[in-house]
């Protein structure tokens, strides 16, 4: 197994190393890849030092799998070149997510769509991954009619420069602004860039990616994305209208029985998901599960996960694990 990680020096790339180690992903040859300014530098992985290589050198090595965490422009340019030499690319950017020829995968939901011919596979947006993980069992049993989503997204979702902005503001240091306003002690109803209709790109991702992953274009979705002064972990308030009547106890039991979901729903003990405690964990945490009495078949829930792990690195590694286990890449499972 030759594995390349493109964008190894970034936030997600660093978490990728941790996840690969924790999950004991079998690697015979590790190929760290980054931008030209990092080529030749040393990184440590699983007790060994590796030299960061260029895109060209990584392609020449023809890895079995390349996990990209280097931005949409980089992926658009380089992912096809890896695919041409037989590499299966798992891409964390938005470059391929809505391409009708590419699969958008959350392994617990739709990994069975993958074939050996899928050479570029899209990893969904971090906010979408955690939400659909919780919604999928509900959708399969009762059907989703409409979703109203409000997100509370950590600054690490923007990148290392945004984390630095918040920390510098807190410390009273000179600040290099990533956001158009201060983020410490503030909330910005602004994720991505604004479209002409007033929605942001992050909000539209939640609409389109949810429908694609759940294979149902009839689901009505509206979203408001908010950036909050939290280092790691995205939170979401999800208001759900189902097509069929449900029993609330059945919903809770269904979520408790879903792989990768942890239900924290004991309000009498102040037990509910929080990003402080979801940080550095792979599970999706769900709580505040209750009926919405204002509409028929209405449901509210609160969904929290670590955006750099299940929202990015862990989901990508799980895709790689599926490819290996089902012999969809050039290795023996």
pLDDT (tens digit per residue) in 255-278: 999 999 999 999 999 999 999 999
The pLDDT tens digits for 10-39 are 999 999 999 999 999 999 999 999 999 999
Percent of the chain with pLDDT over 90: 98
What does the block give as tokens for 19? 């996840």
- 172 contact partners, CB below 8 Å, separation of at least 6: none
Indicate if the pLDDT at residue 69 is higher than 50: yes
Confidence tier at 332 by pLDDT (50, 70, 90): very low
Q: Write the pLDDT tens digit of every residue in 297-311.
A: 999 999 999 999 999
Closest CA to 24 of 260, 320, 307, 323: 320
- Look at residue 157 and tell me whether its pLDDT is greater than 90: yes
- Name the active-site residue from 126, 139, 190, 326: 126
- Tell me the whole-structure pTM to 2 decimals: 0.95
CA 160, 12, 310, 208 dihedral sign is: positive
User: Is the confidence at residue 331, as pLDDT, over 60?
Assistant: no
pLDDT band at 80 (very low <50, low <70, confident <90, very high): very high
- Which residue shows structure tokens 């980089």? 74
pLDDT band at 201 (very low <50, low <70, confident <90, very high): very high
Domain pair 2-124+312-325 / 127-307, same fold: no
In CATH, the architecture of 127-307 is: 2-Layer Sandwich (3.30)
Whether 187 is catalytic: no
Rounded-to-integer distance, Cα 235 and Cα 237, Å: 7
Mean pLDDT for 178-195 is 97
The domain limits of the chain are: 2-124+312-325, 127-307
From the list 187, 234, 280, 326, the catalytic residue is: 234
| Distance separating alpha carbons of residues 19 and 6, to the nearest angstrom | 15
Least Cα distance to 299 among 289, 307, 308, 309 occurs for 289
CATH of domain 2-124+312-325: 3.40.50.720
């Amino acid at each position: 197994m030759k594995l390349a990680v493109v964008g190894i020096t970034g936030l997600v790339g660093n978490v990728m190393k941790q996840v690969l180690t924790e999950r004991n992903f079998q690697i015979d040859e590790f190929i760290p890849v980054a931008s030209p300014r990092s080529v030749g530098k040393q990184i440590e992985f699983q007790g060994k030092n590796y030299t960061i290589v260029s895109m060209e050198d990584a392609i020449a090595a023809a890895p079995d799998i390349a996990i990209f965490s280097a931005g949409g422009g980089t992926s658009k340019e380089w992912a096809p070149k890896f695919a041409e030499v037989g590499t299966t690319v798992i891409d964390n950017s938005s470059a391929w997510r809505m391409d009708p020829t590419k699969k958008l995968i959350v392994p617990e939901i739709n990994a069975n769509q993958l074939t050996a011919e899928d050479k570029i596979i899209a990893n969904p947006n971090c906010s979408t991954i955690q939400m659909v993980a919780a919604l999928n069992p509900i959708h399969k049993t009762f059907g989703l009619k409409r979703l109203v989503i409000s997100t509370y997204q950590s600054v690490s979702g923007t990148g290392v420069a945004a984390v630095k902005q918040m920390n510098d503001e807190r410390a009273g240091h000179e600040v290099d602004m990533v956001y158009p306003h201060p983020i410490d002690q503030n909330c910005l109803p602004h994720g991505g860039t604004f479209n002409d209709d007033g929605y942001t790109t992050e909000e539209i991702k939640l609409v389109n990616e949810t429908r694609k992953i759940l294979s149902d274009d009839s689901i009505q979705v509206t979203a408001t994305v908010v950036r909050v002064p939290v280092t790691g972990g995205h939170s979401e308030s999800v208001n759900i209208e189902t097509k069929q009547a449900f029993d609330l106890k059945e919903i809770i039991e269904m979520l408790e029985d879903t792989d990768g979901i942890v239900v924290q729903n004991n309000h009498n003990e102040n037990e509910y998901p929080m990003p402080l405690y979801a940080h550095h964990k792979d599970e999706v945490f769900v709580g505040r599960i209750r009926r919405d009495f204002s509409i028929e078949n209405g449901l509210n829930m609160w969904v929290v996960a670590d955006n750099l792990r299940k929202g990015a690195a862990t989901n990508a590694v799980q895709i790689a694990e599926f490819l290996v286990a089902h012999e969809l890449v050039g290795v023996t499972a």
